[in-house]
Amino acid sequence: MKVHTSGHNQGGAVIITVALVLLFLLGFMGIALDFGRLFIVKTELQTAMDSCALSAAQELDGASDALTRATSAGKTAADLNKINFQGGATGIAQTDIVFSDSLIGTYSHTFTPVANARYAKCLHTKPGIAPWILNALGAFSGSATYGASHSVAAVAVATRAPSQSNCLIPVGICQKSTAPGWGFTRGEWVEGVTNDNDDVESGQFHWVDFTGSGGGAREIKDLLTSSGQCGLPGMDTNVGKAGKTNGAVAAWNTRFGIYQGSLNAATAIPDQTGYAWYADSAAAVNPGRYDDPGSNGFAAKRNSFAPYEGDNKNPDTKNLKTQGNFNATDYTKGANRRVVTTAVVDCPSITLKGFGCMLMLHPLEKNASGKKSKMWLEFIGDATLAGSPCATAGLAGGTNGPRVPTLVQ
């Protein structure tokens, strides 16, 4: 008897085989794509935590409001980074930013005493990341395990350390002498030169075009709204040439929460206070605002998020007005933007002699005739000394440079 095989039965076997192969391939695709996605999200989250820790550590200057500023700066920096293929927010909370006095110590969001906080840690877990391909595999196989959501976590710890390179705002302080402190006393107000053609005298300051290559006002503007000029030559070298004030005024004022034109808080973070101290003449200066423990001192104004008090606050300002809007500024989102590291230079050669820690006292104003207000900085001290409230961006690893935030974990 002749036996016939059924082609239909063979066709069914092929379909089953192909389905199993496709399921197998789907599993590999799911592993490659979904776990690759988790890796990318974790990398993005790690970048955000690194930025958070570095920004938070920069604020740890021992002041009573250091943790408040560090939390604000850290969260702001983290929020500027996106995750999930740059499509979503990190979701970091303020309590995800904690502090300690040592790398392996106990961390707390409300660490005490505040003056001892030296390390900032940012840690965050992003839950609920649903798979793409493995979710379909779960539906195909009937197992919910494949479609389960996953989490990624990232942590970063930073502190402030001496630098081998740093970033300075485009201001040069003309030394008075070669003595420690360059002839300045703590709390002394240093007058700035506002007119491009004025001679710069000992004990004054002026804009510096650090590259000396014609970057001019645009370059100075960019440096004021960012971290400053990095990678400068070493000590006793020429670091640039005198710069112009045109175009730099608006950038300077952003540090007081005053914005003009395209400048805004997203691209130019303010300080936590816009409060201003002004003097129309050298005889009228009232020094010591940074160290003043009273209600009119810098710490008190920053603790209360005191805003810029408005134009024409002083009859001596001759109807001077700032250019830009300050009424809607949210100072609680600010950072340490008015305690700045500047170059101390020999004038007029612009030869670098050191690094000064200074307090920016007031925004720049002008009246209808174009007259500009006086420029004042308050001398706090040598930025390279331990305990200086100043910190810059830059590369850590030096022995006596200004402090810079650096990742340690």
Residue 20 has what pLDDT? Answer: 56
Specify the residue for token string 């197998």. 24
Closest CA to 210 of 76, 331, 342: 342
Q: Residue 253: name the closest of 235, 271, 228, 238 by CA.
A: 271
Q: Please report the pLDDT score of residue 95 as a whole number.
A: 94
Q: Please say whether the beta carbons of 73 and 60 come within 8 A.
A: no
Pairing of strands 375-382, 189-192: antiparallel
Q: In this structure, are residues 202 and 188 in contact, taking their beta carbons and an 8 Å threshold?
A: no
- pLDDT at position 7, please? 53
Q: What is the pLDDT of residue 40?
A: 84
* Tokens 């001496």, located at residue: 162
DSSP 52: H
pLDDT of residue 91: 87
Longest dimension (CA), the chain: 125
Beta bridge pairs of residue 192: 205, 375
Whether this model's pTM surpasses 0.85: no
Nearest to 364 by CA among 168, 227, 221: 221
Q: pLDDT tens across 379-396, in order?
A: 999 999 888 999 888 888
Residues contacting residue 346 through CB under 8 Å, at least 6 positions apart: 174, 175, 353
The answer to whether the CB of 124 falls within 8 A of the CB of 91 is: yes
Position of tokens 């936590």? 272
What is residue 126's predicted lDDT score, i.e. its pLDDT? Answer: 87
Confidence at residue 234, expressed as pLDDT on a 0 to 100 scale = 77
Q: Extract the residue ranges of the chain whose pLDDT is less than 70.
A: 1-14, 16-35, 85, 130, 132-148, 194-203, 211-218, 242-247, 312-319, 367-370
